[in-house]
Amino acid sequence: MVHCNKRGSEALLGDCSHIFKYEQGGAAHLGGVLLSTLRNKPDGTFDLKEMESRIRGFDIHEPVTNLVAVENTHNYCGGKVLPMTWLDELADLCKKHSIPIHMDGARLFNACEYLGEKPSNVVKHCASVSVCFSKGLCAPAGSALAGSYHFIEQARRLRRMLGGAMRQVGVLAAPALVALDEIVPLLGFDHKRAFRLAKVIEGLFLDSFAVDVENLHTNIVLVRISENSPLTSEVVLQRLMEVCQSETMNDCKTENNDGVIVRGTHFNDKTLRFILHHDITDEDLWLAIMKITYVFKELDKNKQAAKKNQII
């Protein structure tokens, strides 16, 4: 709403971006901003030639394109990190047309860990950037918006209008500082654990489940269910949260003989997501791997048996 401060303004962004998919059209509902989407590629980028061709405002009948928004890391694409060269090219185009860039950097520090770059370098072309302290940084809550002095002045006014002001914000700032000082340096361990989980799932060689290990960038593991399988992500996630006696008999349990449950996120009917973070230890990961291995093999075996019966 700061960047698109005239009603009828347009923002260009990816069709799989969080702002477009998961915010109930809030930009239009609250700010009168038209969100126009560009097709996201698997790496979280979009075609820059298409973007330039979609810039509007030269005709009196058109909305005015006042913003381009990117997401880094890209959640729906599996924690992908936007290439620095692509961001440079995007910045050149936006500068040419005098359009600011906003970065949804909810997981910005994961992107920096992967790239080996400082946050200031990753966001150097952006007029504004948002970061989240609870996604992977282990703070209980809290996000922040960064921009120029004038930008933040205007953002504070809009926040007040939307009811977002908080006098007791120090209770959020304190754990956010801990997150920056103590958790950010450890993000690499989350990435390694995610890679370990992905490699195990890949190594099961099951027909029903697949992971793109080669293109795994950060702490998000997307598991794809084969299109010809009757399984859905909701069925798989429900089974991962159940404990049956046969699991504990096969050592899928804790030291206290408790059953293991694994929670994930439903992305679509054929995709589920696992996220690794600081509170998931190596021991937790091992238990999760045992549970996932057991359940995936069970479901894949059941699918194969059903298929065989159908043929008979």
DSSP state of 16: T
Written as one letter, the residue type at 110 is N
pLDDT score at 178: 96
pLDDT score at 121: 98
Angle at CA of residue 177, ends 176 and 178, nearest 5°: 90
Closest CA to 93 of 138, 136, 38, 152: 38
- Tokens representing residue 167 in the block: 């006098």
Note the CATH architecture for domain 186-311: Alpha-Beta Complex (3.90)
The low-confidence residues of the chain, meaning pLDDT below 70, are 249-251, 255-257, 303-312
pLDDT tens column, 220-247:
999 999 999 999 999 999 999 998 877 7
Angle at CA of residue 64, ends 62 and 68, nearest 5°: 130
Chain centroid, CA 181 distance in Å: 22
> Where does the chain hold its CATH 3.90.1150.10 domain(s)?
186-311
CA distances from 307 to 119, 230, 239, 251, 304 (A): 51, 10, 20, 29, 5
Closest CA to 193 of 67, 310, 281, 86: 281
pLDDT score at 312: 52
pLDDT score at 307: 61
> Where does the chain hold its CATH 3.40.640.10 domain(s)?
9-165
pLDDT score at 253: 72
pLDDT score at 28: 94
- Tokens representing residue 132 in the block: 């989240």
Q: CA-to-CA distance for 117 and 65, rounded, in angstroms?
A: 30
**Residue 137 in contact with residue 163, Cβ under 8 Å?**
no
DSSP state of 123: T
pLDDT tens column, 99-140:
999 999 999 999 999 999 999 999 999 999 999 999 999 999
> Is CATH 3.40.50.300 the classification given to domain 9-165?
no
